[in-house]
Amino acid sequence: MKRVICTGANGFIGTHTVKALLDKGYEVTALDLNIERLRELLGHHPRLNFFKANIVSDDLSNFIQEGDKVLHLAAVAHFITRKDALKAVQVNVGGTINVLEGCNKKAERIVFSSTGSVYASNVAVPIRENGELGPRPENYYGWSKLQAERWIQNYKKLTPHVILRYGYIYGILKSWGAIGDWMYNKIPKGEAPLIYGGQQTNDFTYVKDIVEANLLALETPYINETFNIGTGRAVNIRDACEACLSLSGSTLNAKIEPSRSFDYPIFLYDIAKARTLLRYSPKWTLREGISDMLKEMPTQKEVINAPKLLVH
């Protein structure tokens, strides 16, 4: 079984994916600035190694051997203000170039975690990878991720790639974003969940489907391709909130706040390309994902007492 080098392994998606990779029998080398979420796994798993590494400044060729597969997740992975723009470019663009240099003809492929933020808010829906307007980011985060995509494409003769543009993701360990905030910060504390606007719809994707897409991308014969990864279903934000409340057994009502300029009115992916080539088949409806999440949710006490683990 091949080895996977996973950057950003201690993050939200990294933690879930590393567990799945180990379950599938891969050997995993986890790279990150932090270790705390992987510590328990490390104690039990002989096929998991962790190295504290900075993707911006360390020589990553020390970690990558001939034939390794690289799953590149490390990033400044949230919306970025002008104040943080330089850091985001250093990590998301410069760090990606450094990862590509570390691959240096040795890696079998690089799988890159891109984002729906590469698309403009008025993109035609359902969003196709090469739709009419194409990627046209409207914020610093989207720009930095699209630039990283371009660098990866420029290196394709040296390192084949698969680019996954994840949509909105929710799941255990993500305590930010609408669902994360409701499930971690509001509902368990008896506070009204906030909805901005209320008309928008989103392609809410459970992290276990994202993990499945990562596993498929590491093995697909369709390299040098870009895929939208979501569910292909649009759910209204009020319905999403109602699902979180009712499945949590809460009688709270959502509080509606004015809409925000950066929210997409309708975000819905066309996932036909991923279905056909990657054989990606999302399994989780929003209600199923929230129910599954609830099974693993820590108690309210644990949420409050473990801010380091849950809030980042």
Give the range of 7-15, 103-111, 132-140, 242-250 binding ligand NAD by CB under 6 A.
7-15
The answer to whether residue 35 forms part of the interface with ligand NAD (CB under 6 A) is no
The rounded distance, in Å, linking the Cα atoms of 118 and 278 is: 21
In 3D, which of 206, 203, 207 has the Cα closest to residue 126? 203
Q: What is the DSSP letter of 33?
A: S
By beta carbon distance, the residue nearest ligand NAD is 11
Q: Which member of 77, 89, 162, 240 binds ligand NAD (CB under 6 A)?
A: 77
Residues 119 and 270: beta-carbon distance below 8 Å: no
| Interface pick for ligand NAD out of 29, 96, 98, 113 (rule CB under 6 A) | 113
Select from 6, 88, 91, 183 the one that contacts ligand NAD (CB under 6 A).
91
Q: Among 6-14, 212-220, 254-262, 280-288, which window interacts with ligand NAD (CB under 6 A)? A: 6-14
Question: Binder to ligand NAD among 49, 54, 121, 259 (CB under 6 A)?
Answer: 54
**Alpha carbons 206 and 174: distance in angstroms, whole number:** 11
Among 18-26, 27-35, 255-263, 276-284, which window interacts with ligand NAD (CB under 6 A)? 27-35
CB 172 within 8 A of CB 303: no
Do residues 64 and 103 lie in contact, with contact meaning Cβ atoms separated by under 8 Å?
A: yes
**Distance in angstroms (rounded) separating the CA atoms of residues 155 and 100:** 7
User: Shortest CA distance to 266 belongs to which of 210, 200, 219?
Assistant: 200
Among 48, 73, 88, 244, binds ligand NAD (CB under 6 A): 73
- Which residues are at the interface with ligand NAD (CB under 6 A)? 7-8, 10-14, 32-34, 53-56, 73-75, 77, 91, 95, 113, 115, 145, 166, 169, 174, 312
